[in-house]
Amino acid sequence: MRYITQIRLEGGALHEHIARLRWKEQEGHQVGEASRAELVQWLRAGGDARVQTWPRDVKVAVIEARPPYLRTKANGVLTDNLLELPRF
């Protein structure tokens, strides 16, 4: 599982404008960075990404649009957790 820790926006301030994401692995000390397209592909291949929140983590979902983008989903409801992350 990967926890998204930071985002980079390009061309606007909405979920559709998230261009890059930084993440850390749940286990170990591996960290990385990926484009939106790379993370969409990784999630579609069975990957699991989340944003750490209290009291529980929120899962990152692929929104099927043109182009696809990412958004968090808690209990079946789309949320704004990604947009609340620090920028880089």
pLDDT tens per residue across span 30-45: 999 999 999 999 999 9
**pLDDT (0 to 100) of residue 29:** 84
Q: Which domain covers residue 34, as residue numbers?
A: 2-84
Q: Please list the residues that pair with 31 across neighbouring strands.
A: 24
User: In this structure, what are the phi and psi dihedrals at residue 36, rounded to the nearest 5 degrees?
Assistant: -55, -45
3-state SS, residue 34: strand
Structurally, the chain folds into a number of domains equal to 1
Q: How many angstroms separate the CA atoms of 16 and 7, rounded?
A: 12
Q: Please list the residues that pair with 50 across neighbouring strands.
A: 3, 59
How large is the average pLDDT for residues 34-58? 96
pTM of the model: 0.92
